Amino acid sequence: MKIYEELKERGLIAQVTDEDAVRDLLDNHKCTFYIGFDPTADSLHVGHFVTIMTMARLQKAGHTPIALFGGGTGMIGDPTGKTDMRKMLAPEQIDHNVACFRKQMSPLIDFSDGKAIMANNADWLMNLNYVQFLREVGVHFSVNRMLCAECYKQRLERGLSFFEMNYMVMQSYDFLELNRRYGCTLEIGGNDQWSNIIGGVNLIRCKENKPAYGLTLGLLTNSEGKKMGKTEKGAVWLDPKKTSPFDFYQYWRSIGDADVERCLMFLTFLPVEEIRELTRCSGSALNKAKEVLAYEVTKAIHGKAEAEKAREGAHALFGGGADTSNMPTSTISTADLSNGSIGVLDLLVKIQLVSSKSEGRRLSQQGGLSVNGVKVTDPAAVLTAADFPNGAAILKKGKKVFHKILLK
Protein backbone atom coordinates (compact mmCIF):
# COMPACT_ATOMS: atom_id res chain seq x y z
CA MET A 1 0.00 0.00 0.00
CA LYS A 2 1.45 3.37 -1.04
CA ILE A 3 1.55 6.22 1.42
CA TYR A 4 -1.39 8.28 0.13
CA GLU A 5 -3.65 5.25 0.14
CA GLU A 6 -2.48 4.39 3.66
CA LEU A 7 -3.40 7.88 4.87
CA LYS A 8 -6.86 7.46 3.33
CA GLU A 9 -7.30 3.96 4.74
CA ARG A 10 -6.49 5.27 8.20
CA GLY A 11 -9.11 8.00 7.79
CA LEU A 12 -6.53 10.75 8.22
CA ILE A 13 -7.25 12.84 5.13
CA ALA A 14 -10.07 15.35 5.54
CA GLN A 15 -9.57 17.74 2.61
CA VAL A 16 -7.05 18.06 -0.22
CA THR A 17 -6.67 20.78 -2.84
CA ASP A 18 -5.98 18.48 -5.82
CA GLU A 19 -6.26 14.81 -4.90
CA ASP A 20 -4.76 13.35 -8.07
CA ALA A 21 -1.77 15.69 -7.96
CA VAL A 22 -1.15 15.16 -4.24
CA ARG A 23 -1.49 11.39 -4.62
CA ASP A 24 1.11 11.43 -7.41
CA LEU A 25 3.38 13.75 -5.42
CA LEU A 26 3.39 11.54 -2.31
CA ASP A 27 3.35 8.14 -4.04
CA ASN A 28 5.79 8.71 -6.91
CA HIS A 29 8.06 11.60 -5.97
CA LYS A 30 10.08 12.96 -3.05
CA CYS A 31 8.61 16.15 -1.72
CA THR A 32 9.26 18.65 1.01
CA PHE A 33 6.20 19.45 3.12
CA TYR A 34 5.55 21.50 6.21
CA ILE A 35 3.39 21.49 9.29
CA GLY A 36 3.18 24.53 11.54
CA PHE A 37 3.15 24.65 15.33
CA ASP A 38 2.11 27.73 17.30
CA PRO A 39 4.30 27.91 20.45
CA THR A 40 1.52 29.04 22.77
CA ALA A 41 2.57 26.66 25.57
CA ASP A 42 5.79 24.95 26.65
CA SER A 43 4.49 21.50 25.73
CA LEU A 44 2.82 19.87 22.78
CA HIS A 45 -0.45 18.13 23.63
CA VAL A 46 -2.62 15.32 22.29
CA GLY A 47 -4.11 17.69 19.72
CA HIS A 48 -0.67 17.89 18.05
CA PHE A 49 -0.17 14.13 18.12
CA VAL A 50 -2.02 13.41 14.85
CA THR A 51 0.05 15.90 12.87
CA ILE A 52 3.35 14.69 14.37
CA MET A 53 2.51 11.06 13.60
CA THR A 54 1.56 12.02 10.03
CA MET A 55 4.84 13.87 9.70
CA ALA A 56 6.65 10.72 10.87
CA ARG A 57 4.72 8.50 8.42
CA LEU A 58 5.63 10.72 5.48
CA GLN A 59 9.26 10.89 6.57
CA LYS A 60 9.38 7.08 6.67
CA ALA A 61 8.01 7.13 3.11
CA GLY A 62 11.01 9.20 1.99
CA HIS A 63 9.66 12.75 2.16
CA THR A 64 11.31 15.67 3.95
CA PRO A 65 9.29 17.34 6.71
CA ILE A 66 9.64 20.91 7.85
CA ALA A 67 8.53 21.61 11.40
CA LEU A 68 7.72 25.30 11.30
CA PHE A 69 7.56 26.99 14.67
CA GLY A 70 5.51 30.17 14.81
CA GLY A 71 7.93 32.46 16.56
CA GLY A 72 6.45 35.35 14.56
CA THR A 73 2.80 34.35 14.18
CA GLY A 74 2.80 33.28 17.83
CA MET A 75 3.05 36.96 18.73
CA ILE A 76 -0.38 37.45 17.12
CA GLY A 77 -2.16 34.15 17.74
CA ASP A 78 -4.39 32.17 15.41
CA PRO A 79 -8.05 33.21 15.82
CA THR A 80 -9.21 29.78 14.59
CA GLY A 81 -11.66 28.24 17.04
CA LYS A 82 -11.29 31.10 19.52
CA THR A 83 -14.06 33.42 20.68
CA ASP A 84 -11.65 35.86 22.31
CA MET A 85 -8.33 37.33 21.31
CA ARG A 86 -5.39 35.20 22.38
CA LYS A 87 -2.86 36.46 24.87
CA MET A 88 0.23 37.89 23.19
CA LEU A 89 3.43 36.12 24.22
CA ALA A 90 6.78 37.73 24.90
CA PRO A 91 9.65 36.75 22.54
CA GLU A 92 11.55 35.06 25.39
CA GLN A 93 8.56 32.85 26.23
CA ILE A 94 8.13 31.90 22.58
CA ASP A 95 11.82 30.94 22.29
CA HIS A 96 11.52 28.77 25.39
CA ASN A 97 8.40 27.05 24.09
CA VAL A 98 10.02 26.37 20.71
CA ALA A 99 12.98 24.69 22.43
CA CYS A 100 10.55 22.48 24.40
CA PHE A 101 8.65 21.51 21.24
CA ARG A 102 11.84 20.53 19.51
CA LYS A 103 12.80 18.18 22.34
CA GLN A 104 9.33 16.58 22.45
CA MET A 105 9.22 15.93 18.70
CA SER A 106 12.64 14.30 18.50
CA PRO A 107 11.54 10.75 19.48
CA LEU A 108 9.36 10.58 16.37
CA ILE A 109 11.06 12.85 13.84
CA ASP A 110 14.64 12.26 12.68
CA PHE A 111 16.30 15.67 12.32
CA SER A 112 19.79 14.28 11.58
CA ASP A 113 21.64 14.74 8.28
CA GLY A 114 18.99 17.01 6.75
CA LYS A 115 16.26 14.36 6.98
CA ALA A 116 13.98 16.99 8.50
CA ILE A 117 14.15 20.76 8.78
CA MET A 118 13.34 22.99 11.71
CA ALA A 119 12.37 26.54 10.84
CA ASN A 120 11.06 29.53 12.76
CA ASN A 121 8.94 32.08 10.91
CA ALA A 122 10.33 34.83 13.13
CA ASP A 123 13.40 34.62 10.86
CA TRP A 124 11.47 36.30 8.04
CA LEU A 125 8.38 37.84 9.63
CA MET A 126 10.15 39.98 12.23
CA ASN A 127 12.12 41.99 9.67
CA LEU A 128 9.43 42.64 7.07
CA ASN A 129 8.96 46.12 5.62
CA TYR A 130 5.27 46.76 6.22
CA VAL A 131 4.53 48.87 3.12
CA GLN A 132 6.51 46.56 0.87
CA PHE A 133 4.72 43.53 2.37
CA LEU A 134 1.31 45.09 1.67
CA ARG A 135 2.28 45.87 -1.93
CA GLU A 136 3.77 42.46 -2.69
CA VAL A 137 1.59 40.13 -0.62
CA GLY A 138 -1.44 41.97 0.74
CA VAL A 139 -2.80 42.78 -2.72
CA HIS A 140 -3.44 39.07 -3.31
CA PHE A 141 -5.95 38.76 -0.46
CA SER A 142 -9.62 39.69 -0.62
CA VAL A 143 -11.03 40.89 2.69
CA ASN A 144 -14.50 39.79 1.59
CA ARG A 145 -13.23 36.28 0.96
CA MET A 146 -11.30 36.23 4.23
CA LEU A 147 -14.41 37.15 6.19
CA CYS A 148 -16.19 34.15 4.69
CA ALA A 149 -13.63 31.86 6.36
CA GLU A 150 -15.12 30.07 9.35
CA CYS A 151 -12.34 31.16 11.70
CA TYR A 152 -13.22 34.84 11.14
CA LYS A 153 -17.01 34.44 10.91
CA GLN A 154 -17.06 33.04 14.44
CA ARG A 155 -15.37 36.18 15.75
CA LEU A 156 -17.28 38.92 13.95
CA GLU A 157 -20.07 39.25 16.49
CA ARG A 158 -17.70 39.67 19.43
CA GLY A 159 -15.13 41.69 17.54
CA LEU A 160 -12.15 40.81 15.39
CA SER A 161 -9.07 43.01 15.57
CA PHE A 162 -7.04 44.06 12.54
CA PHE A 163 -4.14 42.58 14.46
CA GLU A 164 -5.68 39.10 14.12
CA MET A 165 -6.86 39.66 10.55
CA ASN A 166 -3.20 39.53 9.57
CA TYR A 167 -2.82 35.93 10.75
CA MET A 168 -4.04 34.29 7.51
CA VAL A 169 -1.82 36.55 5.40
CA MET A 170 1.22 35.78 7.53
CA GLN A 171 0.63 32.02 7.50
CA SER A 172 0.20 32.15 3.73
CA TYR A 173 3.46 34.06 3.48
CA ASP A 174 5.14 31.32 5.51
CA PHE A 175 4.27 28.81 2.79
CA LEU A 176 5.68 31.14 0.15
CA GLU A 177 8.93 31.61 2.08
CA LEU A 178 9.33 27.86 2.66
CA ASN A 179 8.70 27.26 -1.03
CA ARG A 180 11.42 29.73 -1.96
CA ARG A 181 13.93 28.58 0.65
CA TYR A 182 13.43 24.81 0.66
CA GLY A 183 11.27 23.96 -2.35
CA CYS A 184 8.34 23.13 -0.07
CA THR A 185 5.26 22.29 -2.17
CA LEU A 186 2.79 20.84 0.36
CA GLU A 187 1.30 22.28 3.54
CA ILE A 188 -0.43 19.92 5.98
CA GLY A 189 -2.54 21.00 8.93
CA GLY A 190 -5.58 20.30 11.01
CA ASN A 191 -8.98 20.45 9.35
CA ASP A 192 -9.60 23.80 11.03
CA GLN A 193 -6.66 25.29 9.08
CA TRP A 194 -8.20 24.84 5.63
CA SER A 195 -8.76 28.56 4.90
CA ASN A 196 -5.23 29.48 5.92
CA ILE A 197 -3.75 26.68 3.81
CA ILE A 198 -5.76 27.71 0.73
CA GLY A 199 -4.41 31.22 1.18
CA GLY A 200 -0.82 29.95 0.95
CA VAL A 201 -1.51 27.69 -2.04
CA ASN A 202 -3.02 30.60 -3.97
CA LEU A 203 -0.22 32.99 -2.96
CA ILE A 204 2.48 30.66 -4.35
CA ARG A 205 0.56 30.30 -7.61
CA CYS A 206 0.26 34.09 -7.91
CA LYS A 207 3.83 34.96 -6.93
CA GLU A 208 5.81 32.01 -8.28
CA ASN A 209 3.53 30.82 -11.09
CA LYS A 210 3.90 27.18 -10.02
CA PRO A 211 1.70 24.65 -8.28
CA ALA A 212 1.49 24.12 -4.55
CA TYR A 213 -0.85 21.92 -2.58
CA GLY A 214 -2.65 21.65 0.73
CA LEU A 215 -3.94 18.73 2.75
CA THR A 216 -5.84 18.74 6.02
CA LEU A 217 -6.11 16.00 8.61
CA GLY A 218 -9.16 15.00 10.56
CA LEU A 219 -9.19 16.29 14.12
CA LEU A 220 -8.85 13.74 16.90
CA THR A 221 -12.41 13.58 18.19
CA ASN A 222 -14.36 10.96 20.08
CA SER A 223 -17.55 9.25 18.91
CA GLU A 224 -19.56 12.24 20.18
CA GLY A 225 -17.58 14.66 18.03
CA LYS A 226 -15.73 16.24 20.97
CA LYS A 227 -12.00 16.90 20.76
CA MET A 228 -9.97 14.33 22.63
CA GLY A 229 -7.16 15.13 25.01
CA LYS A 230 -8.87 16.48 28.13
CA THR A 231 -9.02 14.97 31.63
CA GLU A 232 -10.01 16.15 35.09
CA LYS A 233 -6.55 17.71 35.30
CA GLY A 234 -6.94 19.55 31.97
CA ALA A 235 -5.05 18.90 28.74
CA VAL A 236 -3.12 15.69 28.15
CA TRP A 237 0.42 16.93 27.49
CA LEU A 238 3.35 15.21 25.81
CA ASP A 239 5.76 16.64 28.40
CA PRO A 240 6.16 14.01 31.16
CA LYS A 241 6.45 16.77 33.76
CA LYS A 242 2.93 17.95 32.90
CA THR A 243 1.29 14.57 32.23
CA SER A 244 3.18 11.59 33.68
CA PRO A 245 3.73 8.57 31.42
CA PHE A 246 1.41 6.60 33.73
CA ASP A 247 -1.42 9.15 33.43
CA PHE A 248 -0.76 9.35 29.68
CA TYR A 249 -1.07 5.57 29.40
CA GLN A 250 -4.21 5.54 31.54
CA TYR A 251 -5.87 8.18 29.39
CA TRP A 252 -5.63 5.96 26.30
CA ARG A 253 -6.41 2.78 28.23
CA SER A 254 -9.70 4.33 29.40
CA ILE A 255 -11.12 5.76 26.16
CA GLY A 256 -14.55 4.72 24.92
CA ASP A 257 -14.99 1.51 22.96
CA ALA A 258 -16.19 3.40 19.88
CA ASP A 259 -12.94 5.43 19.74
CA VAL A 260 -10.37 2.63 19.90
CA GLU A 261 -10.06 1.85 16.18
CA ARG A 262 -9.85 5.50 15.16
CA CYS A 263 -7.11 6.20 17.72
CA LEU A 264 -5.13 3.13 16.66
CA MET A 265 -5.39 4.25 13.03
CA PHE A 266 -4.38 7.85 13.76
CA LEU A 267 -1.76 7.41 16.45
CA THR A 268 0.15 4.15 15.90
CA PHE A 269 2.30 2.57 13.21
CA LEU A 270 0.48 -0.75 13.49
CA PRO A 271 -0.65 -2.06 10.07
CA VAL A 272 -4.23 -1.27 9.09
CA GLU A 273 -5.26 -4.93 8.88
CA GLU A 274 -3.80 -5.68 12.31
CA ILE A 275 -5.80 -2.80 13.77
CA ARG A 276 -9.01 -4.05 12.19
CA GLU A 277 -8.38 -7.51 13.56
CA LEU A 278 -7.70 -6.12 17.05
CA THR A 279 -10.92 -4.09 17.06
CA ARG A 280 -13.21 -6.67 15.49
CA CYS A 281 -14.52 -7.67 18.93
CA SER A 282 -16.65 -5.70 21.37
CA GLY A 283 -17.31 -5.30 25.09
CA SER A 284 -14.67 -6.53 27.53
CA ALA A 285 -12.86 -8.35 24.71
CA LEU A 286 -11.89 -4.90 23.39
CA ASN A 287 -9.70 -4.30 26.45
CA LYS A 288 -6.77 -5.96 24.70
CA ALA A 289 -6.99 -3.41 21.90
CA LYS A 290 -7.10 -0.59 24.47
CA GLU A 291 -3.97 -1.94 26.16
CA VAL A 292 -2.21 -2.13 22.79
CA LEU A 293 -3.25 1.46 22.02
CA ALA A 294 -2.11 2.76 25.41
CA TYR A 295 1.22 0.93 25.18
CA GLU A 296 1.96 1.98 21.58
CA VAL A 297 1.23 5.68 22.03
CA THR A 298 3.11 5.84 25.34
CA LYS A 299 6.08 4.10 23.73
CA ALA A 300 6.00 6.53 20.80
CA ILE A 301 6.16 9.59 23.05
CA HIS A 302 8.00 8.44 26.19
CA GLY A 303 9.97 5.39 25.02
CA LYS A 304 9.69 1.65 25.57
CA ALA A 305 10.93 1.64 29.16
CA GLU A 306 8.35 4.20 30.35
CA ALA A 307 5.58 2.44 28.42
CA GLU A 308 6.39 -0.85 30.14
CA LYS A 309 6.45 0.84 33.55
CA ALA A 310 3.07 2.42 32.89
CA ARG A 311 1.63 -0.91 31.77
CA GLU A 312 2.91 -2.58 34.93
CA GLY A 313 1.39 0.16 37.05
CA ALA A 314 -1.96 -0.25 35.32
CA HIS A 315 -1.89 -4.02 35.81
CA ALA A 316 -1.28 -3.43 39.51
CA LEU A 317 -4.54 -1.52 39.71
CA PHE A 318 -6.75 -3.67 37.54
CA GLY A 319 -5.19 -7.10 37.45
CA GLY A 320 -3.45 -7.41 40.81
CA GLY A 321 -0.04 -8.85 41.51
CA ALA A 322 2.04 -6.29 39.66
CA ASP A 323 4.48 -3.73 41.02
CA THR A 324 2.91 -0.33 41.82
CA SER A 325 6.28 1.41 42.04
CA ASN A 326 5.75 2.88 38.56
CA MET A 327 2.62 4.76 39.63
CA PRO A 328 2.82 8.54 40.31
CA THR A 329 3.79 8.74 43.99
CA SER A 330 3.90 11.21 46.85
CA THR A 331 5.27 10.72 50.36
CA ILE A 332 3.91 11.96 53.66
CA SER A 333 5.30 11.43 57.14
CA THR A 334 3.67 10.20 60.33
CA ALA A 335 4.04 13.78 61.56
CA ASP A 336 1.41 14.74 58.96
CA LEU A 337 -1.09 12.55 60.82
CA SER A 338 -2.13 15.12 63.40
CA ASN A 339 -3.56 13.23 66.38
CA GLY A 340 -3.14 10.07 64.35
CA SER A 341 -5.12 11.10 61.27
CA ILE A 342 -5.21 13.44 58.28
CA GLY A 343 -8.32 14.84 56.62
CA VAL A 344 -8.84 13.54 53.12
CA LEU A 345 -9.20 17.10 51.80
CA ASP A 346 -5.95 18.14 53.49
CA LEU A 347 -4.22 15.15 51.90
CA LEU A 348 -5.54 15.93 48.42
CA VAL A 349 -4.27 19.50 48.65
CA LYS A 350 -0.94 18.45 50.14
CA ILE A 351 -0.13 16.07 47.28
CA GLN A 352 -1.52 18.61 44.75
CA LEU A 353 -4.15 16.24 43.41
CA VAL A 354 -6.58 19.17 43.74
CA SER A 355 -5.88 22.89 43.82
CA SER A 356 -8.12 23.67 46.80
CA LYS A 357 -10.26 22.08 49.50
CA SER A 358 -13.40 23.29 47.74
CA GLU A 359 -12.38 21.37 44.61
CA GLY A 360 -11.69 18.32 46.76
CA ARG A 361 -15.05 18.67 48.49
CA ARG A 362 -16.89 18.72 45.16
CA LEU A 363 -14.88 15.75 43.95
CA SER A 364 -15.81 13.73 47.02
CA GLN A 365 -19.48 14.70 47.07
CA GLN A 366 -19.85 13.85 43.38
CA GLY A 367 -18.43 10.35 43.88
CA GLY A 368 -15.17 11.02 42.10
CA LEU A 369 -12.77 10.03 44.90
CA SER A 370 -11.70 6.57 46.04
CA VAL A 371 -9.12 5.39 48.57
CA ASN A 372 -7.88 1.82 48.18
CA GLY A 373 -10.82 1.04 45.91
CA VAL A 374 -13.48 2.42 48.29
CA LYS A 375 -15.43 5.56 47.36
CA VAL A 376 -15.07 8.46 49.78
CA THR A 377 -18.23 10.60 49.57
CA ASP A 378 -17.85 12.36 52.93
CA PRO A 379 -15.54 15.39 52.61
CA ALA A 380 -14.96 15.25 56.38
CA ALA A 381 -13.46 11.74 56.16
CA VAL A 382 -10.01 11.19 57.66
CA LEU A 383 -7.27 8.66 56.99
CA THR A 384 -5.31 6.93 59.74
CA ALA A 385 -2.24 4.71 59.62
CA ALA A 386 -4.61 1.77 59.14
CA ASP A 387 -5.52 3.17 55.72
CA PHE A 388 -1.91 2.72 54.61
CA PRO A 389 -1.46 -1.09 54.54
CA ASN A 390 2.20 -1.91 53.99
CA GLY A 391 2.84 1.84 54.22
CA ALA A 392 0.93 2.84 51.08
CA ALA A 393 -2.53 3.94 49.97
CA ILE A 394 -3.90 4.26 46.43
CA LEU A 395 -6.05 7.31 45.62
CA LYS A 396 -8.23 7.45 42.53
CA LYS A 397 -9.51 10.77 41.19
CA GLY A 398 -12.28 10.53 38.63
CA LYS A 399 -12.04 7.60 36.25
CA LYS A 400 -8.44 7.81 35.12
CA VAL A 401 -6.14 9.52 37.64
CA PHE A 402 -4.36 7.27 40.16
CA HIS A 403 -1.85 8.29 42.80
CA LYS A 404 0.08 6.30 45.40
CA ILE A 405 0.73 7.81 48.85
CA LEU A 406 3.61 6.46 50.89
CA LEU A 407 3.53 6.87 54.67
CA LYS A 408 7.03 7.10 56.15
Task: Indicate if 17 belongs to the active site.
Answer: no
Q: Which of 208, 273, 235 is nearest to 1 (CA)?
A: 273
Identify the active-site residue in 10, 32, 38, 45: 45
Identify the active-site residue in 51, 231, 243, 268: 231
Query: Residue 255: left (phi > 0), alpha (psi -120 to 50), or beta?
Result: beta
Identify the active-site residue in 8, 18, 40, 357: 40
Task: Indicate if 171 belongs to the active site.
Answer: yes
Q: How far is CA 129 from CA 133, 137, 176, 316, 326, in A?
A: 6, 11, 16, 61, 54
Identify the active-site residue in 42, 95, 192, 346: 192
Task: Indicate if 48 belongs to the active site.
Answer: yes
Identify the active-site residue in 32, 73, 104, 171: 171
Contact 196, 145 (CB under 8 A): no
Q: How many CB atoms lie within 10 A of CB 317?
A: 17
Task: Indicate if 40 belongs to the active site.
Answer: yes
d(CA 260, CA 266) in angstroms, rounded, equals 10
Identify the active-site residue in 153, 227, 280, 399: 227
Residues present in the chain in total: 408
Q: How many CB atoms lie within 10 A of CB 223?
A: 11
Distant-in-sequence, close-in-space partners of 278: CB < 8 Å, separation ≥ 6: 264, 270, 288, 289, 292
Identify the active-site residue in 8, 18, 23, 82: 82
Task: Indicate if 86 belongs to the active site.
Answer: yes
Task: Indicate if 403 belongs to the active site.
Answer: no
Task: Indicate if 221 belongs to the active site.
Answer: no
In one letter, which amino acid is 327?
A: M
Identify the active-site residue in 8, 15, 18, 86: 86
Identify the active-site residue in 23, 207, 230, 242: 230
* Residues labelled as active-site residues: 40, 45, 48, 82, 86, 171, 192, 227, 230-231
